Amino acid sequence: MNRRISKSFKTIFKSLYPNFNESEIENSEEYFFFILSNYPDKSEIIQLKALFFIFSFKVRTLIISDQNISNLINKLQSSNVETLRKLGFSITALFGLSTARSLSGEGSVYKYLDYPVYKNSKIKKRENSIPKNLEVAVIGSGAGGGIAANLLNQKYEVGIFDKGHFPNGETNNETFGYHNFYETNAIQQTRGYKVQLLAGMGIGGGTSINWTTSLRTPDNILSEWDALTQQNNHFNSDSFNKSLDYICQNLNVDETNNKIPQKEIKLAQGLELNKTSYKIIPRNTKNNDCLESGFSTFGHSDDTINSSYKSWFSKDKFNEENIYSNTHVRSLSISNGKATHVNVEHNGQSYSVAVEKVILASGSLNTPKILLNSGYKNKHLGQHLKLHPVSGVAGKFSELQNPWAGSMQGIYSDDHLFRKDNYGYLLEGLPMHPSLFFPFFPNNQDNFGDFISSYNYWSGSIVLTSDTSSGSIINKNPQHLWKYNLNNFDHENLLHGIESLVKANFLAGAEEIMVATSPTMHWKRESNEDIESFIGKVRKVRNEPFRILLGSAHQMGTARIHPNPSEGVVDLNGKVHGLENVYITDSSTFPRCSGVNPMITIQAMSHFLASKI
Ligand SMILES: Cc1cc2nc3c(=O)[nH]c(=O)nc-3n(C[C@H](O)[C@H](O)[C@H](O)COP(=O)(O)OP(=O)(O)OC[C@H]3O[C@@H](n4cnc5c(N)ncnc54)[C@H](O)[C@@H]3O)c2cc1C
């Protein structure tokens, strides 16, 4: 079977990417097989394998010649039949990823882009023997777990369990970073609209790999949280604002820690010309002298970045002996409405740790799984998944853009954050690392050779949609999956944002513009197509799966807060309804999405809730 799949891979790959030599093709193929073995949604892989198997037989050439494969895939991507569109989308996204990532650390495209190569580094596992009992077990050491553990440690004997590693202090390459510091190797997509899910995994969770954009929760959002939970000035209150202040001060959040990187200067100019305002992004870093090289998102944990690991677990604040890394929490033992034990796996062995209190902070994708595996039931658990779905636009300029280098994100525009009924979008810069680019702009090969040699002249930007759409868990213990569909309201906001970015790129002088659709929409100044007619086509992109390519780095809302157990999973103190001693302090508590990048909001929520425990 694998030999046949390999044969099909090579045939299709060569037709899509004619520039690669044999060893580069093998390099990409190796990664392709890695995806086939590790992609969490096994049924999708079975279908793909079956198709590749059939495609490998010679009889196929009677219907599709090798020369026509690229055209055929393009047609599949544009098809009105959803299954065919999905096939075209899956092949191009997978192949795009396989050109950028590699198990050796050097993606096949790297040398064409002059992209820096960092060797696969090492992970040193730390061995702390698992305790027999704890007063408080915090599960997850990220944005929601870090500050909670820090605060509770002042009152209780706290132990933190995290299934990931400590940051390794190295500059890691993309693949090594995604494989060691991200959930599911950062290859998982939802069912439905196939949104790619990026979430941190390791000590510090998302805060050890994220892009350091540090925005306070807007008052409008806090007021809506109040309305949704039938409160008056509970979230939009002095108390919550004090939590925000506390977090921002401790993380040194400030816009003076940022400056507009080369890759976003054109975006800033274009937005201004399009009469869209923009602001410098405040960051949670030490200062702006040490703007990282763009690689902190691969688990580097740059010493200048105030991650949870650095801020809340520093040696003077938390005893590292009580941080249990590489320790996977499978479930809680619950008896008479109380969690009695946390059941963990460490180095292939199972342990049961007796506990008095449990703080769940494993992130929106994992907190519901632990509760479901523990037999806890609430109809809102694993529902209302918000993703801040993101899509992108890239522009090619005559000046060098250094598209991945410098501060991860320099500017944002919130002009349309509350465009309709308190929902809208943010526009932000994008660090255009190859793995973030090639799967989202897969059809850049009308002359692929020209395209890759001009990569450093491209600059990327994103629309981050505040979503009213909701995803939900597909509960298939032990392998839980997620599904997510985008509604028309959100689609319309997303398209509005994309249009705004296309205009900004055009006004800033872009020679070419690409939009992250399937197939990639591509405008060239030298062509006869005027920009208005291109924008007209963008506006007409239908709200159907596999038309706009979507990613998510912000998952929220899967155990939402509400005083009434029939409306939410945790009460206003973050305590799980019906359980005496289990609390949730992470992004899953959000009553609606935060609208802005959520790290600061999550930490403030955690501070707000944990202060009462
Ligand atoms: C690439 C990327 C860039 C981002 N950039 C920004 C940004 O610039 N600004 C911003 O505001 N937000 C950003 N975010 C989002 C932000 O980092 C997350 O929303 C935030 O970290 C989520 O906090 P959390 O506490 O809910 O979960 P996390 O921070 O993800 O922490 C969850 C932790 O739980 C652990 N865990 C999970 N399951 C288990 C288990 N069963 N047993 C033990 N441990 C477990 C995980 O290993 C992880 O460490 C970014 C996210 C990504 C992925």
Q: How is the chain split into domains, by residue range?
A: 2-100, 133-181+200-212+215-250+295-379+561-610, 390-466+487-549
pLDDT at 290 over 70: no
At residue 193, the pLDDT reads 97
Residue 443: predicted pLDDT: 79
Instruction: Using most ligand atoms within 8 A of CB, pick from 130, 196, 211 the residue to mutate for ligand 1.
Output: 211
Task: Check residue 508 and give its pLDDT.
Answer: 98
- The answer to whether 140 and 158 have CB atoms below 8 angstroms apart is no
At residue 172, the pLDDT reads 94
DSSP per position, 321-373: GGEETTEEEEEEEEETTEEEEEEEEETTEEEEEEEEEEEE-S-TTTHHHHHHH
- pLDDT one-digit tens code per residue, 250-278: 999 999 999 999 999 999 999 999 999 99
Question: Nearest-CA neighbor of 577 among 562, 560, 565, 589?
Answer: 565
CA 524 – CA 218 distance, rounded (Å): 38
The predicted pLDDT at position 292 comes to: 66
What pLDDT, in 10s, does the model give residues 130-151?
A: 999 999 999 999 999 999 999 9
Q: From the CB of 308, is ligand 1 less than 6 Å away?
A: no
pLDDT tier at 447, thresholds 50, 70, 90:
confident
The Å distance, Cα 265 to ligand 1 centre, comes to 29
Which two tokens mark 245?
């202040």
Strand partners, 423: 420
Question: What is the pLDDT, as a whole number, of residue 497?
Answer: 98
pLDDT single digits (tens) 486-540: 999 999 999 999 999 999 999 999 999 999 999 999 999 999 899 999 999 999 9
| pLDDT tens by residue, 173-196 | 999 999 999 999 999 999 999 999
pLDDT for 610 beyond 70? yes
CA of 526 to the centre of ligand 1 (A): 43
Distance CA 562, CA 27 (A): 50
Q: What is the pLDDT of residues 390-419, one digit of tens each?
A: 999 999 999 999 999 989 999 999 999 999
Mutational pocket test of ligand 1: of 179, 305, 350, 602, the residue with most ligand atoms within 8 Å of the beta carbon? 602
Confidence band for 286, pLDDT divided at 50, 70 and 90: confident
Return mean pLDDT, the chain.
95
Nearest CA to ligand 1 atom 36: 362
CA distances for 72 relative to 16, 47, 64, 86, 545, angstroms = 11, 19, 8, 13, 19
CATH topology of domain 133-181+200-212+215-250+295-379+561-610: FAD/NAD(P)-binding domain (3.50.50)
**Cβ of residue 361 lying under 6 Å from some atom of ligand 1:** yes
pLDDT of residue 169: 87
Assess whether pLDDT exceeds 70 at residue 101: yes
Whose C-alpha lies nearest to ligand 1, atom 35? Answer: 140
* Cβ–ligand 1 contact at 140 (below 6 Å): yes
Q: Which residues have C-beta within 8 Å of that of residue 367, sequence separation ≥ 6?
A: 139, 140, 360, 361, 558, 559, 584, 586, 588
| Nearest-angstrom CA–CA distance, 163 and 345 | 9
Instruction: Decide whether any atom of ligand 1 lies within 6 Å of the 461 Cβ.
Output: no
Structure tokens at 383: 């529902």
CA of 114 to the centre of ligand 1 (A): 30
Give backbone dihedrals phi and psi of 247, rounded to 5 degrees, phi first. -65, -50
d(CA 302, CA 171): 9
> Which among 350, 364, 599, 603 is the best mutation to test ligand 1's pocket, defined by most ligand atoms within 8 Å of the CB?
599
Q: How far is the CA of 270 from the centre of ligand 1 (A)?
A: 32
Report which ligand 1 atom has the smallest distance to the Cα of 308.
Answer: 29
Q: What is the mean pLDDT of residues 561-590?
A: 98
d(CA 613, CA 611): 6
Ligand 1 neighbour 142 (Cβ under 6 A): yes
Alpha-carbon gap, residue 29 to 493, rounded angstroms? 37
Cα separation, 3 vs 559, in Å, equals: 45
Distance 96 CA to ligand 1 centre (A): 25
CB of residue 460 inside a 6 A radius of ligand 1: no
**Helix boundaries (H) for 383-483:** 434-437, 448-453
pLDDT tens column, 9-40 = 999 999 999 889 999 999 999 999 999 999 99
Which atom of ligand 1 is the closest one to the Cα of 370? Answer: 41
State in Å: Cα 514 to ligand 1 middle: 30
Answer left, alpha or beta for residue 575, where phi above 0 means left and psi between -120 and 50 means alpha: beta
Q: Can you give the pLDDT at residue 289?
A: 62
Asked if residue 587 has its Cβ within 6 Å of ligand 1, the reply is yes
Q: Which ligand 1 atom sits closest to the C-alpha of 182?
A: 53
Residue 307 CB less than 6 A away from ligand 1: no
Cis omega (within 30 of 0) for bond into 519: yes
142 CA → ligand 1 middle, Å: 5
Does 164 sit in the ligand 1 pocket, CB within 6 Å? yes
At 307, the pLDDT band (50, 70, 90 cuts) reads very high
Ligand 1, residues 597, 607, 609: which to mutate, most atoms within 8 A of Cβ? 597
At 82-93, the pLDDT tens digits run: 999 999 999 999
Distance 207 CA to ligand 1 centre (A): 6
Ligand 1 site, residue 554, Cβ cutoff 6 A: yes
d(CA 179, CA 37): 14
pLDDT band at 291 (very low <50, low <70, confident <90, very high): low
The pLDDT of residue 478 is: 66
Q: Does pLDDT of 304 surpass 90?
A: no
**Phi, psi values for residue 459, rounded to 5°:** -135, 140
Atom 47 of ligand 1: nearest residue by CA position: 201
Residue 367 CA: nearest ligand 1 atom is 38
Q: Does any ligand 1 atom lie closer than 6 A to the CB of residue 198? A: yes
- Mean pLDDT, range 444-448, rounded to an integer: 70
Using CA positions, which residue lies closest to atom 19 of ligand 1?
Answer: 554
Using the atom order of ligand 1, give the atom closest to the CA of residue 212: 8
pLDDT surpasses 70 at 288: no
> How far away, in angstroms, is 184 Cα from ligand 1 center?
13
Residue 396's H or E segment, with its range, is: strand 390-396
Residue 572 contacts residue 234 (beta carbons within 8 Å): yes
Q: For residue 52, what is the DSSP state?
A: H
Confidence label for 340 from pLDDT (cuts 50, 70 and 90): very high
Is 197 in contact with 552 (CB distance < 8 Å)?
yes
